[in-house]
Homo-oligomer: A and B are copies of this chain.
Amino acid sequence: MKAAIIGGTGYGAIELIRLIQNHPHLEIGTVVSNSQSGTNFSDSYPHLSNIVNISLEKFDAEEISKQNDIVFLATPSGVSSKLVPELIDKGIKVIDLSGDFRLRSQNEYETWYKHTAPAEEYLSKAVYGLSEIYPEKIKEADLIANPGCYPTATTLGLLPILKANLADKKSIIIDAKSGVSGAGRGLSLTSHFAEINENIKAYKLGAHQHIPEIEQVLKDETGSLITVSFSTHLVPMNRGIMITAYVNLTGNISTSEVNELYREFYENQPFVRVRPIGIYPATKEVQGSNYCDIGLHVDPRTNRLTIVSVIDNLVKGAAGQAIQNVNIMNNWDVTTGLDSIPMYP
């Protein structure tokens, strides 16, 4: 199958290319970058020299849908919403890595993203691609809204305890830490090396556009309106997200029981690994891979559960989960092309 990638010079696209190259059933078709069309891909990314010898092209929905079997949009939010309709109308399946089609409510989208929401007609076609939770819907989808990096780590960390109805739903606090690649390749002072190296920085407290996305999943899965506290922090590293979530427990349950609960919940999920009691995951342990690793601790002093959940933001938080969704859509084994070992150290 040939895959087109739109938004070809961002980190999301680069990671898609790395993963597609490793995938037995996918190959790179068209790569679109309006800003750099006509140039060779390896001019922007010398690490692709001798591997991906492709010219970047301008966006042309007609050509793309003729020459490819699937399209990945690795475009910024606000751009995907404009490109998706044309592509969908040509009958090609689309995986959108931006936030544009994740929120079902146009209102919510416009409140948090501060620009115009996609048309209702296309929003309603979108399936939220949290692979472990919605495989059946993903299988049938024409348009996948690929989850955000923070929401992936967060919802995989929270759902088992919430669905077991053991958590006080008003108590949920998520303290998120991210590597800098999550901010993309666009230049900004907060991604300027000397500013963020040797530094931790809190940003967008209570204001991150991933908040409504998390709350939408939690509501879908529990039936309750859940409002979370969500704080984001930039950490001086390239890849990796860790969320530390805090939940008040409603009954008496030990760390070992919670651990068992999580292991059962993810029993058939090859990409979610639950650490043994007393061991917490570190982001490096999933570097370059599609794993989400989870550690759990119940503090008997407060009867509060602490959940540590880590992913590689560019893999399970973006390109990897996109490939996982393609695997599901095609009835391929879910690990196809995604079974490489994390790069350590």
Please tell me if the beta carbons of A273 and B50 are within 8 angstroms of each other in the complex: yes
Query: Which A residues between 68 and 105 are near B, CB-CB below 8 angstroms?
Result: none
Chain B residues whose CB sits within 8 angstroms of the CB of A191 once the complex forms: 192-194
- Per the bound structure, the CA–CA distance linking A238 and B193 in Å amounts to 8
CB distance from A73 to the nearest CB of B (A): 20
Chain B residues whose CB sits within 8 angstroms of the CB of A173 once the complex forms: 173, 246, 304
Contact of A180 among B170, B187, B193, B205 (CB under 8 A): B193
Give the number of times this chain occurs in the complex, counting copies.
4
Please tell me if the beta carbons of A242 and B202 are within 8 angstroms of each other in the complex: yes
Please tell me if the beta carbons of A340 and B181 are within 8 angstroms of each other in the complex: no
Please tell me if the beta carbons of A293 and B246 are within 8 angstroms of each other in the complex: no
Query: Which A residues between 267 and 292 are near B, CB-CB below 8 angstroms?
Result: 270, 273, 275, 279-289
CB distance from A74 to the nearest CB of B (A): 14
A54 at the binding interface (Cβ < 8 Å): no
Contact of A46 among B18, B51, B279 (CB under 8 A): B279
A256 at the binding interface (Cβ < 8 Å): no
Chain B residues whose CB sits within 8 angstroms of the CB of A281 once the complex forms: 46, 202
A237 at the binding interface (Cβ < 8 Å): yes
A195 at the binding interface (Cβ < 8 Å): yes
Q: Which of A59-67, A135-143, A158-166, A228-236 contacts B (4 or more CB under 8 A)?
A: A228-236
Please tell me if the beta carbons of A341 and B17 are within 8 angstroms of each other in the complex: yes
- Per the bound structure, the CA–CA distance linking A279 and B289 in Å amounts to 30
Q: Which of A123-131, A144-152, A294-302 contacts B (4 or more CB under 8 A)?
A: A294-302
- Per the bound structure, the CA–CA distance linking A236 and B293 in Å amounts to 20
- Per the bound structure, the CA–CA distance linking A270 and B287 in Å amounts to 26
Of all chain B residues, the one with the shortest Cβ separation from A296 is B205
8 contacts between A and B (CB under 8 A): A187-B192, A198-B239, A198-B345, A200-B282, A202-B308, A206-B306, A233-B242, A236-B236
Please tell me if the beta carbons of B246 and A205 are within 8 angstroms of each other in the complex: no
Contact string, A166-189, partner B, CB cutoff 8 A, digits 1/0?
000010010101011100010111
CB distance from A333 to the nearest CB of B (A): 15
A109 at the binding interface (Cβ < 8 Å): no
Contact string, A2-29, partner B, CB cutoff 8 A, digits 1/0?
0000000001001001100110000000
Please tell me if the beta carbons of B341 and A21 are within 8 angstroms of each other in the complex: yes
A197 at the binding interface (Cβ < 8 Å): yes
CB distance from A253 to the nearest CB of B (A): 15
- Per the bound structure, the CA–CA distance linking A301 and B172 in Å amounts to 12
Please tell me if the beta carbons of B341 and A177 are within 8 angstroms of each other in the complex: no
Chain B residues whose CB sits within 8 angstroms of the CB of A293 once the complex forms: 46, 49
Please tell me if the beta carbons of B47 and A236 are within 8 angstroms of each other in the complex: no
A1 at the binding interface (Cβ < 8 Å): no
Please tell me if the beta carbons of A193 and B229 are within 8 angstroms of each other in the complex: no
